[in-house]
Amino acid sequence: MDRMTRWTALLTLALAAIAPATARETLDEAAVHARELVAYRSRNTGTLMSVFPDDAQVPTPGLPFGLQEYYAHYPDSNGDLLLLAMPIAAIYRNALPPHAPNLTMTINDMYGFGNGNLAAGRMRVALFGTLERVEGDREIEKCKQAYLEAHPDARGWIPPGGPHAAFYARFRVNKVYAFNGFGDVAFIGWVPLDLYRSSGAKMRSAKEVHRDWPVPRQPQENDDLGVVDLFGEQAGDHGVVRIMPVSREAVAHEEKRRERFRVQLA
């Protein structure tokens, strides 16, 4: 090894040693972020998906089907959704008797960041659950108010005066999958249901979430990261640390943000 090569190698090691480390998002953080995403950053809109049953018209049997759909927080629940189900819509018919009441709602960050195309790095979550019709006049009225609070424009089609038959339904969450960005810094994987539900008590206010939210990172052309680094699922080891080529100012800002967030988790 010549002198120049040796000095280059030593310099690389020295820079790596003094470079600040950026830790991956933990499972606990991911659970709180998922609840905050659903509550504050999706504009109460997601993609609702069902599967055409075996007796559906050709050529649709067995095909998944998803469309944009409004939702609201189900009153007095801990992470369930409120839907306005319209049996005229195939997406709901697929989950009504005699078919299994299974649905999936995918929810994305709708606020975005400036003019950059950062969609690949934004948080998103898939909620798996079942459809349950709301019963009882008091419960229906409570759901009506909650739905209108989230979507005032829905006054034109809510029951009983809407153009189509409809009813309020509870989307009872039973599984949660979080895809919070690129896997070198963000959590990707299943969130335990009990953790998802308990994390509601640790959510920050809407104002705090809108002001202080992890900005998605786009991979640069010179990033020494492979597909596994960017999209690898985390299976139990949530303490992985990578040396990232970022400025000290950026790291200091990120550490302050994470410390404020950790106070909320404590």
**Inside any domain, residue 232:** yes
The pLDDT, as a whole number, for residue 38 is 96
**Inside any domain, residue 195:** yes
Q: What is the count of structural domains for the chain?
A: 1
**Sign of the alpha-carbon torsion through 9, 13, 18, 22:** positive
The pLDDT, as a whole number, for residue 18 is 35
Question: Is residue 85's pLDDT more than 80?
Answer: yes
Pick the range with the lowest mean pLDDT from 41-45, 109-113, 248-252: 248-252
Indicate which CATH number applies to the domain containing 221.
2.30.110.10
Report the distance separating Cα 23 and Cα 243, nearest Å.
9
**Inside any domain, residue 157:** yes
Question: Is residue 175's pLDDT more than 70?
Answer: yes
Q: What average pLDDT is seen over the chain?
A: 79
**Inside any domain, residue 8:** no
Better-scored residue on pLDDT, 251 or 160: 160
Residue 188 near residue 24, CB atoms below 8 Å: no
The average pLDDT across 67-96 equals 94
The average pLDDT across 118-145 equals 92
Better-scored residue on pLDDT, 63 or 220: 63
**Inside any domain, residue 10:** no
The single residue listed with the structure tokens 């509870």 is 170
The pLDDT, as a whole number, for residue 266 is 54
**Inside any domain, residue 2:** no
Better-scored residue on pLDDT, 255 or 29: 29
Residue type, 230: L
Tokens of 19: 């470079």
**Inside any domain, residue 79:** yes
Domain with 100 in it: 21-265
Tokens of 144: 């009506």
The pLDDT, as a whole number, for residue 217 is 64
3-state DSSP assignment of residue 105? strand
Q: What backbone torsions phi and psi does residue 185 show, to the nearest 5 degrees?
A: -130, -15
Residues 6+ apart with CB under 8 A from 178: 30, 31, 33, 34, 123, 124, 125, 187, 188, 189, 190, 191
Question: Is residue 21's pLDDT more than 50?
Answer: no
The average pLDDT across 132-143 equals 96
Question: Is residue 126's pLDDT more than 90?
Answer: yes
**Inside any domain, residue 14:** no
